[in-house]
Structure 1
Amino acid sequence: MCNLYSQTRAQDAMRQLFSGQEILDSLGNLPPQPEIYPDQQAPIVRAGTSGGLEFAMARWGLPTPPQYLVGRKVDRGVTNVRNAISPHWRRWLGRGNRCLVPLTSFAEPRGAGLGNAWFSHVRGAPMFFAGIHVPGWTSVRKLKDGETTDDLFAFLTTVPNTEVAAVHPKAMPVIVTHPSEWKIWLEADWREARLLQRPLPDESLMMEDGGTTADPSGTRG
């Protein structure tokens, strides 16, 4: 499962992807993020409260299903969502909770001690994870911090295409690369938007070694 990705596209370049739309940019002066791990802050694109779009920061990891928190004080969050028909996720699949998560590449672990394989688009097309966000969620993410209230996000996964399957045969993130797909994900009803939970076409990704040799752990729902 993808628990490491990069986002190095400049803010101005990201705004240009949505030219013609009103944008509220709440990112501040966002530096490149060559390695984004679970529970870290990262940019998302979501519908604005008064129309248009908002670029905002959110914390990676959605609320864990309650049955997995019995006896636990800390909710470390769920980074990847596969089972969209689960009642736990279904309440957040409407237009108001969908977001786009910008990325330039993502990593899949090769196995213990073998480092990560990094995937990027062969033509350099702009990529976004098909994300879900939950604003203003109060929980204990780290025991030392106590309760915090955060905007949270994660993204959908699906069966892998050929390139990802060579490293991770079970799943890959749902990635959308075309403005028409971005619009569907943010604006369409779920009956249409759910059709985007599919792998990228074969031969659309290139694999390269790089980044950290860590094998980050995470949770998938």
Structure 2
Amino acid sequence: MCNLYTLRLSAAELAEHFGRVEAAASNAGEEVYPGAPGLVIREDDGRRIMQSMTWGFPLRLKTMPPTAKPKPVNNIADLAKPMWKGLAAKPQWRCLIPLTAFAEAEGPKGAKTRTWFSVVDQPVFAWAGLWRDSAEWGPVYSGVMTDCNEAIRPVHDRMPVLLHADEWDQWLHGSYDDALTFQARCFPDHLVAMERTSEPWVKRKTFRESPQLI
């Protein structure tokens, strides 16, 4: 499960990297947490748009009191599940999530640290995502997950569905079967760099909801 990632490039640098991107105002931070704003790239009528959205689809459990805040579903475990299939089958609801690195927690309970993963020789890369408009938080997005490769296996058994640059258009425009193929494939081990750190996993109190994966 991915519950933290960074994006340390400016809007201008992102527009140059992803090409033909129309930038919009953003309040996203360099570190992105579930339930917080992040940047996504989507297409609308042939235009590629960079937009700030909330990371996580709002989920209200039956056991929650009516006044409770929804929980953000920020990871997508299975595109074939009913919650996701309708969106995944329609290219207009697919997006690219730009990031410079993502983190997993490693270590004993109460003393977990951040282990960061990035793509070798890539200052920014893309994670396959879905987005929609919500009544609770406006535009929201979530990232598609898959089984980990060997580079990530020492830390976690799942990883984001990472896209090569020549796959962006196929993710944004391809068929539902194409989307399922991306979730089933394994990203090359040799392209993933790992950096273990002494940074504590929990650094601040901006987010204390339990993130969800469905």
TM-score, shorter chain, exceeding 0.5: yes
Q: Out of 158, 161, 176, which is 2:146 matched to?
A: 158
Gaps of 5+ in 1: 140-148
SS state of the match for residue 71, structure 2?
Answer: coil
SS state of the match for residue 190, structure 2?
Answer: coil
Code of the residue aligned with 1:195 in structure 2: it is: T
1:125 shift after superposition: 5.5
Task: Verify: 1:203 aligned to 2:195, yes or no.
Answer: no
How far apart in 2 are the matches of 1:211 and 1:4?
16
1:190 shift after superposition: 1.2
SS state of the match for residue 71, structure 1?
Answer: coil
Q: Out of 47, 71, 79, which is 2:63 matched to?
A: 71
**TM, length-normalised to structure 2:** 0.86
1:27 shift after superposition: 2.9
How far apart in 2 are the matches of 1:175 and 1:132?
13
Which residues in structure 2 correspond to 1:29-108 (within 5 Å)?
A: 33-48=29-44, 50-64=45-59, 69-72=61-64, 73=66, 74-93=69-88, 94-108=90-104
List per-residue Cα deviations over 1:126-161 (Å, max 9, x = no partner).
Answer: 3111000012x113xxxxxxxxx4111011000001
Partner in structure 2 of residue 9 of structure 1 = 9
Partner in structure 1 of residue 125 of structure 2 = 127
CA contact (8 A) 1:125 1:177 kept: no
Which range is displaced more, 85-94 or 206-215?
206-215
1:10 shift after superposition: 2.2
SS state of the match for residue 13, structure 2?
Answer: helix
Which range is displaced more, 92-101 or 73-82?
73-82
Q: Out of 164, 167, 172, which is 2:159 matched to?
A: 172
SS state of the match for residue 135, structure 2?
Answer: strand
CA contact (8 A) 1:92 1:98 kept: yes
Is the alpha carbon distance of 1:212 and 1:27 closer, same or farther for their aligned partners in structure 2, counting shifts above 3 Å? farther
1:70 shift after superposition: 0.5
How far apart in 2 are the matches of 1:38 and 1:90?
22
Partner in structure 1 of residue 177 of structure 2 = 191
Partner in structure 2 of residue 181 of structure 1 = 167
CA contact (8 A) 2:15 2:22 kept: no
**TM, length-normalised to structure 1:** 0.83
Partner in structure 2 of residue 214 of structure 1 = 201
1:199 shift after superposition: 3.0
Code of the residue aligned with 2:63 in structure 1: it is: G
Is the alpha carbon distance of 1:209 and 1:107 closer, same or farther for their aligned partners in structure 2, counting shifts above 3 Å? same
Gaps of 5+ in 2: 203-207
1:210 shift after superposition: 3.8
Code of the residue aligned with 2:2 in structure 1: it is: C
Structure 1 runs of 4+ with >4 Å offset: none
SS state of the match for residue 182, structure 1?
Answer: helix
SS state of the match for residue 79, structure 1?
Answer: strand
- Percentage identity across paired residues of the two chains: 27
